[in-house]
């Protein structure tokens, strides 16, 4: 996982109240980083924070915030400033899905997803890169998805947000390669978290069978980040799927995605 020393440095993890975010926070705290945990559910964040302090003896700050609300990023930056925290690591993990036929979906829900998955992620990255550049060191992990590699009927706008995340991250990895800043995109396949309860997607039997645990997925992302890789797909089967998607005709790929992702 590289020899990056994170002792006395700060890592920000968005979406740290459940799923992958909890694992990212634990992996980074295990490497000595102090951690700021951000999500909406304060009681969950407090429980995660207490576990990290006990297991790893690091400082942990909790910021309960709706990152999908307008003005969330300036509010977050204000709280970081007040706490004297200048982050070395940013894990842009908070994200939601919206499952179902696009034309029938509720606009407010789609809009909130675009705000969180795209606007907040981009705004936070944009705000913190100059801080990292001035410090001469920084690490940004953007959480994308296997859904970024093809259009996904019945998760159409969600997959499109993740295609954006993948594109942005790979470009930033290149732009910042001489600035001492590493940017990577982690693309998980189906992973056991609260994600599908929130998105309203009932998984098919096959998808349930290939579901990964969240810990190895998060580890793959952190390893790629410190190695300087631009992007990684977690898991062998998911890697094979991403590869196949590149060589098969696009209409075949979209039809296959529709079959596994059908509205139900």
Ligand X SMILES: NC(=O)c1ccc[n+]([C@@H]2O[C@H](COP(=O)([O-])OP(=O)(O)OC[C@H]3O[C@@H](n4cnc5c(N)ncnc54)[C@H](OP(=O)(O)O)[C@@H]3O)[C@@H](O)[C@H]2O)c1
User: What are the Cα distances from residue 37, in Å, to 45, 138, 237, 249?
Assistant: 7, 18, 31, 42
Shortest Cβ 179–ligand X spacing (Å): 25
Applying CB under 6 A, does 241 fall inside the site for ligand X?
Answer: no
194 is a contact residue toward ligand X (CB under 6 A): yes
Alpha carbon distance 202, 81 (integer Å): 42
Out of 88, 150, 173, 193, which residue is the one contacting ligand X (CB under 6 A)?
193
Q: Where are the alpha helices (DSSP H) in the chain?
A: 20-30, 42-56, 72-83, 107-114, 121-135, 156-175, 195-199, 205-209, 214-227, 236-247, 250-260
Residue 231 CB, shortest distance to ligand X, in Å, is: 13
- Residue 24 touches ligand X, criterion: CB under 6 A: no
Tell me whether residue 46 or residue 66 sits nearer to ligand X (CB atom).
66
Indicate which single residue of 119, 157, 176, 198 sits in contact with ligand X (rule: CB under 6 A). Answer: 198
Which of 93, 155, 173, 261 forms a contact with ligand X (CB under 6 A)? 93
Nearest to 150 by CA among 244, 221, 263, 20: 244
Residue 143 in contact with ligand X, rule: CB under 6 A: yes
Using rule CB under 6 A, residue 113 touches ligand X: no
Residues 31-70, one symbol each (x = binds ligand X by CB under 6 A, - = not), give --------xxx--x---------------------xxx--
CB-wise, 133 or 215, nearer to ligand X?
Answer: 215
> What is the C-alpha to C-alpha distance for residues 229 and 67, in angstroms, rounded to an integer?
27
Residue closer to ligand X by CB (options 110, 198) is 198
Question: Which one of the spans 15-23, 25-33, 223-231, 242-250 is the region binding ligand X (CB under 6 A)?
Answer: 15-23
At residue 203, what are phi and psi to the nearest 5 degrees? -70, 145
Angle at 217 between CA 216 and CA 223, to 5 degrees: 85
Q: 109 burial class (0-12, 13-18, 19+ CB within 10 angstroms)?
A: middle
For ligand X, which residue of 13, 27, 60, 95 counts as binding (CB under 6 A)?
95
**Cα dihedral 242→248→250→251 (10° resolution):** -120
Binding site for ligand X (CB under 6 A): 15-21, 39-41, 44, 66-68, 93-96, 116, 143, 145, 188, 190-191, 193-195, 198
């Amino acid at each position: 996982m590289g020899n990056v020393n994170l002792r006395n440095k700060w890592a920000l993890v968005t979406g740290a109240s459940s799923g992958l975010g909890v694992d990212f926070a634990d992996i980074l705290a295990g490497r000595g980083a102090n951690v700021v945990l951000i999500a909406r559910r304060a009681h969950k964040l407090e429980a995660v924070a207490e576990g990290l302090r006990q297991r790893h003896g690091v400082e942990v700050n909790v910021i309960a915030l709706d990152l999908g609300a307008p003005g969330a990023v300036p509010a977050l930056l204000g709280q970081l400033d007040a706490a004297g925290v200048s982050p070395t690591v940013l894990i842009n993990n908070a994200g939601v899905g919206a499952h179902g036929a696009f034309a029938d979906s509720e606009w407010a829900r789609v809009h909130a997803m675009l705000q969180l998955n795209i606007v907040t992620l981009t705004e936070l990255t944009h705000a913190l890169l100059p801080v990292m550049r001035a410090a001469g060191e920084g690490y940004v992990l953007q959480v994308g998805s296997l859904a970024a590699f093809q259009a996904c009927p019945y998760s159409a706008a969600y997959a499109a947000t993740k295609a954006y995340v993948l594109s942005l991250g790979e470009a930033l990895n290149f732009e910042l390669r001489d600035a001492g800043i590493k940017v990577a995109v982690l693309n998980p396949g189906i992973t056991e978290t609260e994600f599908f309860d929130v998105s309203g997607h009932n998984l098919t039997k096959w998808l349930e069978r290939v579901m990964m645990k969240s810990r190895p997925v998060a580890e793959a992302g952190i390893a790629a980040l410190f190695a300087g890789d631009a992007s990684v797909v977690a898991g062998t089967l998911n890697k094979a799927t991403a590869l196949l998607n590149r060589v098969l005709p696009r209409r075949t790929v979209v039809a296959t995605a529709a079959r596994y992702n059908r509205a139900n």
